[in-house]
């Protein structure tokens, strides 16, 4: 539904499969899910809507997207993306990324987010939060989160990270669906 209007409208021809994650940022709607096309355009698992047409974010991701969170990181506007994926493709480059990746809106490419990954990309991050002290919290179904071979958190389904401190367990974690 468009603001100020009393009717719903379609967004192009939609997706060829389910969508799970959405956010509005940088003047666009971003949607992630199982789909591989949006509005008839190839958009592997993630797409943006500018008010008129769907567009891809690079070639896309290798699996389901469950989280899209707008953020500024390393001086760039972008999106933190979580899900069941092991790679992302943009500008002809395949990036190995397990369950978590950053899309730079400014440079239109995927980047590893602070070197953080889930154990094997088959268990996703569902939620992302930041507290007033700069701790970043990751919630999902993962059993392990790692940072570029330097540290590992093994508390099931939840951990936190802070630059300069590293990954930390939160107790022994939580079990079950974190949605």
CA distance 123 to 55: 27
What are the tens digits of pLDDT across the range 156-169? 889 999 999 999 99
- Count how many residues are written for the chain: 179
Q: How large is the average pLDDT for residues 69-94?
A: 95
pTM flag (> 0.85): yes
Instruction: Give Cα 155 distance to the centre of its chain.
Output: 21
Residue reference for tokens 């379609």: 10
According to the model, what pLDDT value does residue 176 have? 54
Q: How large is the average pLDDT for residues 100-126?
A: 89
> For residue 178, what pLDDT band results from cuts at 50, 70 and 90?
very low
Position 25 pLDDT exceeds 90: yes
């Amino acid at each position: 539904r468009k603001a100020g209007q009393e009717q719903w409208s379609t967004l192009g021809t939609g997706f060829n499969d389910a969508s799970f994650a959405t956010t509005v940022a940088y003047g666009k709607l971003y949607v992630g899910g199982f789909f591989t096309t949006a509005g008839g355009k190839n958009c592997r698992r993630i797409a943006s809507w500018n008010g008129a047409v769907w567009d891809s974010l690079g070639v896309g991701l290798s699996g389901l997207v469950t989280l899209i969170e707008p953020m500024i990181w390393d001086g760039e506007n972008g999106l933190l993306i979580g899900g069941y994926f092991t790679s992302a493709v943009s500008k002809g480059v395949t990036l190995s990324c397990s369950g978590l990746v950053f899309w730079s809106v400014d440079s239109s490419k995927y980047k590893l987010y602070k070197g953080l990954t889930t154990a094997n990309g088959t268990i996703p991050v569902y939620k992302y939060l930041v507290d007033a002290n700069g701790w970043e919290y990751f919630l999902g179904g993962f059993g392990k989160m790692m940072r570029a071979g330097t540290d590992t958190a093994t508390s099931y389904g939840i951990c936190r990270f802070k630059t300069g401190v590293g990954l930390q367990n939160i107790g022994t974690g939580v079990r079950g669906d974190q949605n």
